[in-house]
Every structure is written in C-alpha cells, then in structure tokens.
Structure 1
Amino acid sequence: MDFAIDENARKRLFTDARTANLFLNKPVDPQLLTEIYELMKWGPTSMNGCPARIAFVTTPEAKERIMPALVDGNIKRVRSAPVVAIIGMDMEFYHYLPTMYPPAPENKKIFENSEIAAQMTALRNSTLQGAYFIMAARAAGLDCGPMSGFDNVYIDQEFFAGTHVKSNFLCTLGYADPSRHYPRGPRFKFESVCQVL
C-alpha cells in the first residue's frame, strides 16, 4: 500500500515510537515548542473550536509546582523531563466560535445553552489536539510521555487559576533514555476490534 509519508516517517510517528519513561540530560530548544504548536494547530476539531491550551513547564522551579499533584509512579518521569506540557482545555472555547467558525457564528449559542455539550466538546477536542501534539512532537524529533495519574484540581488551581482552562493530561517531552523503555506492549489485530460494514 502506498502511503503519503515514507516508511521512515511512519516508523518515527507510529511503529517505532515509544512512550518515554525517563529522559536523557539533553535540553529541548525552546523554538521547537513553537514549531510543534504551529504544526499541531492544523489538526481538525469540531467547528474549528480549538479548545486546547498548553502550559509548557520548562524550569526546575515550575516543575516543582507539579510534584504535589503526581502519583508516585510519575514523579521520576516528570523530574527527568526537560519539558512538561500541561494539555488543557478552555471550557468556554465557544466564545471564540464567531471568529474560529465564521460560516455559523450562531453555533456559539449551542454551548452557551448547554454546559454538558460544552464540557464534552472541550474534552473530546482538546484530547484530539493532544494527540496531534504528540505526533507533531515526534515529527520534530522529540519523545513523549503522555500521562494521567495526577490531581487535576491541584494542577488547575496551580497553573490555570482565574481562567476558564482546566487540565486534560500531562505530556513529558525530551529525548528518551532508550535503556529505560519497557518491553513493547501488544496491540489488537484488525479483525479483533474493527468492522467493515
């Protein structure tokens, strides 16, 4: 089958890519963070709502602010990472819809009138954008360690107080220490989880 990207790109983005557990002591160029965002922002979201908001934690002092929120198993992972991205979601993303989705500016009212619809849309689409973020970071030559296992309320108070942003998940970034990879986990076969109807 012919893909639009070559085999090396497929390996880098998918088949050889691994979740980073610990990182080498190698800094991440701050310009890469801008370039990653500038690539990931083009991924599709519902009504072009783009609810994701990202806080890049890059200093030891800022990283210490994360530590009290983490489960024990994530502390070493976060400490070793040159960058921790807090993938957040603007729960009032819909205020921007008249600009972001000019074909139907009135769609803002859908979410103003339904907190549940707003929450579900913010979560679903910021998660999508988080996946685009991981792919963009891998394309930039970085390794990623996306994680749950933290106190969202604490992170929200510490990093997003006074805003409409809530945390979705954390993603460590850097250059992985390959000696600290776990054995590769299995994946389901097509016929086990897919239907063609």
Structure 2
Amino acid sequence: MTLALSSDAQNLLFRDARTANTFTDEPVGDDQVQAIYDLVKHAPTAMNQQPLRIVLVRSPEARERLVGLMSPGNQAKTAAAPLVAILAADLDFHEELPRVFPHATGVREMFAGDEAKRIQSARFNATLQVGYFILGVRAAGLAAGPMAGFDAAGVDKEFFDGAHTVLAVVNIGRPGENAWRDRLPRLAYDEVVTTV
C-alpha cells in the first residue's frame, strides 16, 4: 500500500528520527516554535479540550532552575540544548471549554464537579498532544529529545501554578555530534496487532 506522505516525509517523521542526546549551538527561534505549534494545534483531543501547556525555557536563570530539577543523566544535555520545552497538562482545562467546545452546554460544570475525571482526561489528552508536538518538531527539520527523568512536582511548582501535571521536558534543536544511539529493536506487527 502506498501512503499519502512521500517516502522522504515518512523518513523525516518516523524512520530516520530518533531521540537526540546532543545538539548544535544553532538557536531555535520563536518563529520556528510558532510554526510547530500552528501545525500541531490540530491534534485530536476529547471535546476539543487542548489541555497541553508549554513553557519555553530560554533565559539562563530559568535554565539553571530547570537543570537542578532534572535527573543526573539529563542535566548536562538539558543545560546544553538550544531550547527546552516543558510540556504539561493543564488540570483546569475545563475553564476554556465554553469557548473551544461551545455547542455542549454544561460540559465545563461536568468536569468542574469531578476532579478525578478532569485529571485523567487532562493527562490523557495532553499526552496525545505531546506526541504531536514531537512530530511537529521533526517536521520542522529539528530534533527532539523528550525526557521523563525530572522532579515533576518541582518543575510544576517552579514553572507553573500547581494546577498542572508536567508530562515531559523536551530538548529541541539541530542534532549535534553523536546525537543518536543505535536504533533499538522494535516489536513486529504480529507481536502488537491482533484481529478479532
């Protein structure tokens, strides 16, 4: 079967892409991040929730605060990356529902009255958006280095208002020397897919 994307585009987004561990010092501009967001803002979310919130860490002071909250194995690469994005789920996403899902009256109140449902929905849907964000970085010709090794509560306290769940910290830039590890094995189709 032929896929709609060209083979080059498929390679850029999937086959050749890897998690980058080193980057060049070429800066990542606001215009590049804006283009990435404009591409990935259409990621699917239940009831158009869009709970993903992004903090771009640019200043040396903010970078130092973040590096101190990273696991030891992630500190040096986070300190050296041209740009770092903190991706979090806004647990108060429901406040925007009257604007982004206007045809469903009462949906804001439904989530306001059920904290456990709201948190679960925010985490799930923002995680979908994180995946799209990483693909958007790749589509922009950049490399992403997503990480989960950090003090999530500390990052939330330092960079958000406590009403978020930090999902990932992503280093972004042009891949540097020895940026990639060897491709690790992937499970085969028959190991993953079952037809019933």
Q: Which residue of 2 aligns with 1:170?
A: 169
Q: Which residue of 2 aligns with 1:43?
A: 43
Equivalent residues of 1:99, 1:105 under 8 A apart: no
Equivalent residues of 1:22, 1:76 under 8 A apart: no
Asked whether 1:15 is paired with 2:20, we answer: no
Q: Which residue of 2 aligns with 1:148?
A: 148
Equivalent residues of 2:50, 2:93 under 8 A apart: yes
**Aligned equivalents of 1:57, 1:38: Cα separation in 2:** 19
Question: What's the CA shift for 1:184?
Answer: 0.8
Q: Which residue of 2 aligns with 1:70?
A: 70
- The count of corresponding residues between Structure 1 and Structure 2 is 196
Of residues 102-111 and 23-32 in structure 1, the stretch that sits farther from structure 2 once superposed is 102-111
Of residues 55-64 and 118-127 in structure 1, the stretch that sits farther from structure 2 once superposed is 55-64
**Aligned equivalents of 2:10, 2:177: Cα separation in 1:** 19
Structure 2 residues not aligned, in runs of 5+: none
**Aligned equivalents of 1:83, 1:170: Cα separation in 2:** 11
Matched AA of 1:105: T
Question: What's the CA shift for 1:27?
Answer: 1.1
* 3-state SS of 2:106 partner: helix
Q: Which residue of 1 aligns with 2:56?
A: 56
Matched AA of 1:174: G
Cα deviation digits, residues 112-161 of structure 1 (max 9, x gap): 12111101100001111011101111101110001101001111111113
Asked whether 1:186 is paired with 2:156, we answer: no
Matched AA of 2:186: R
Q: Which residue of 2 aligns with 1:121?
A: 121
Structure 1 residues not aligned, in runs of 5+: none
Question: What's the CA shift for 1:78?
Answer: 0.3
Matched AA of 2:121: T
Question: What's the CA shift for 1:178?
Answer: 4.5
**Aligned equivalents of 1:182, 1:89: Cα separation in 2:** 29
Question: What's the CA shift for 1:110?
Answer: 2.2
Q: Which residue of 2 aligns with 1:85?
A: 85
* 3-state SS of 1:44 partner: coil
* 3-state SS of 2:68 partner: helix
Matched AA of 1:189: A
Question: What's the CA shift for 1:90?
Answer: 0.9
Equivalent residues of 1:12, 1:138 under 8 A apart: yes
Sequence identity percentage: 38
Q: Which residue of 2 aligns with 1:109?
A: 109
Equivalent residues of 2:123, 2:165 under 8 A apart: no
Equivalent residues of 1:160, 1:166 under 8 A apart: no
* 3-state SS of 1:105 partner: coil
**Aligned equivalents of 1:121, 1:87: Cα separation in 2:** 16
CA RMSD of aligned residues (A): 1.2
Matched AA of 1:183: D
**Aligned equivalents of 1:41, 1:115: Cα separation in 2:** 25
**Aligned equivalents of 1:178, 1:3: Cα separation in 2:** 32
* 3-state SS of 1:69 partner: coil
User: Closer, same or farther in 2 for the Cα pair 1:7/1:178, shift >3 Å?
Assistant: farther
Of residues 12-21 and 94-103 in structure 1, the stretch that sits farther from structure 2 once superposed is 94-103
> So what's the TM-score if we normalise by structure 2?
0.96
User: Closer, same or farther in 2 for the Cα pair 1:178/1:13, shift >3 Å?
Assistant: farther
